[in-house]
Structure 1
Amino acid sequence: MAMNYQPSDPILLGSGELYIGLAKDIEDLSNLTTTEEEALVNIGAIESGANIAIKTDKLEIKSGNRGTVKKITVDKEVRFSTGIMTWIMENVSKYLLGANFSKDELTGEQKMVISRRDNSPIVYLRFVHEKQDGGTLTVNIYKAQFDSELGLDFTQENPVTINYEFAGLATDDLNYIEFIETFGDQQG
């Protein structure tokens, strides 16, 4: 039997730009308007290490004498981790932690106060990765919530954050995530 071979390049989500908007401000999470697209905030450049993990929980149906006869999907877990990225204090406060942020307009001093009462907002998350062929791989998580520790690294000239991790939440129609791939110039 002949197999139809299709060449493919591995898709590595190493670096890219991360855009976020508050999910409550978007009318249709699967079809943003131009205004909603333009309102997404670039919260930083991911230098390396971005990844997505999708886990499926199954329920096994067993027969008394034949063992497992079927598996039914009962849940999915979608997680997006940024790896190493630049950060802007106001964006970390507003879109990740739900923390109190203030800026002194006279001196420019910024302050973020993290409290036990903070609640991470539900956000629309878009990650855009530029491929080597000039195309893009865009990942849209319709509803996501920051769900991890916040690591700040001050050893470099410009501080970076390590591993923002977001949990995908199901929409009303039970969708989590979409992948959109475009292709650049294929001519050599």
Structure 2
Amino acid sequence: MALPTVQNTEPLMLGSGELFIAKSKDISNLAIPTDEDLAKFVNIGAIKENASLSIKDEMQDVKGANRGLIYKALKERNVTFKTGIITFNLENLYKFIYGGDFTDDTTKKVQTFSIGNEVAGKCYLIFVHTDKETGHKLTVKIPQALFIGEQQFAWGEDAVSTNYEFAALSTQINGKQKYVLFDNDYNDVV
């Protein structure tokens, strides 16, 4: 039997899009946020390119006494979301990423943000990528994420940009442990 040569599914490509964020503790339904929940999300930035979702499994070999390898069991799953190049503002860094100190002196028109050893806590991420040609939308939802890794700030010709890396934390949804939820809206936009 020959394998089919035509791909009958559309490849899912991440890259650019919008990243929305809220505190996980403020969302009443982690599986399907309500309209009230959605109103709590902040557009944390426009992702120019290179957004990626990585799923890495560590497997445990199961061997029989005289049969060798008979099964591989999931030992651990690590899911990370990297934003790639993203715009940002200081207040969002304070609220959702670091939890440091933030002040906004509206008289002097100066915002001050300091980074120490504080951690902002668990966040709910919603990344929306829209295909420019078809209008199809891929939405990646991570109900509980924690900022991890290193962050770099780049001062360029257009604007200051940065990148974020988040670890997806296991979340109980419909009686099962989940890390990430996908919605692929493939309705053609006219």
**TM-score (ref. length: structure 2):** 0.91
Which position in structure 2 is the counterpart of 1:183? 186
Q: Distance in 1 between matches of 2:189 and 2:140?
A: 22
Q: Does 1:108 align with 2:109?
A: yes
The answer to whether structure 1 residue 22 and structure 2 residue 35 are counterparts is no
In structure 2, runs of 5+ residues without a counterpart are none
What is the CA–CA distance in structure 2 between the aligned matches of 1:149 and 1:89, rounded to whole Å? 17
Please state whether the residue corresponding to 2:182 is helix, strand or coil: strand
Find the counterpart in structure 2 of residue 119 from structure 1: 119
Q: Could you tell me how far 1:64 is from its partner in structure 2? A: 2.2
The equivalent residue for 1:164 is 164
Q: CA deviation at 1:178?
A: 0.6
Q: Which residue of 2 aligns with 1:149?
A: 150
Q: Do the aligned residues in 1 keep the contact of 2:54 with 2:80 (CA within 8 Å)?
A: yes
Give the counterpart letter for 2:137 in structure 1: T
Q: CA RMSD in A?
A: 1.6
Give the number of equivalent residue pairs: 185
Q: CA deviation at 1:72?
A: 1.2
Provide Cα deviations, 1:17-50, integer angstroms capped at 9, x if missing partner. 0000000001221111101112110000000000
Residue 130 of structure 1, CA deviation: 0.3
Counterpart of 1:90 in structure 2 is 91
- String of CA shifts for 1:101-145, please: whole Å, max 9, x gaps: 1100212200101112x1131000000000131110000001000
Matched, 1:74 2:71: no
Tell me the equivalent position of 1:133: 134
Question: Match for 1:174: what amino acid?
Answer: Q
Alignment match, 1:36: 37
How many Å separate the matches in 1 of 2:61 and 2:2? 34
Following the alignment from structure 2 to structure 1, what is the Cα–Cα distance between the partners of residues 136 and 180?
Answer: 20
- Matched residues, percent identical? 37
Segments of structure 1 that go 5 or more residues without pairing to the other structure are: none
| TM-score scaled by length of structure 1 | 0.92
Alpha-carbon distance, 1:171 to partner: 1.0
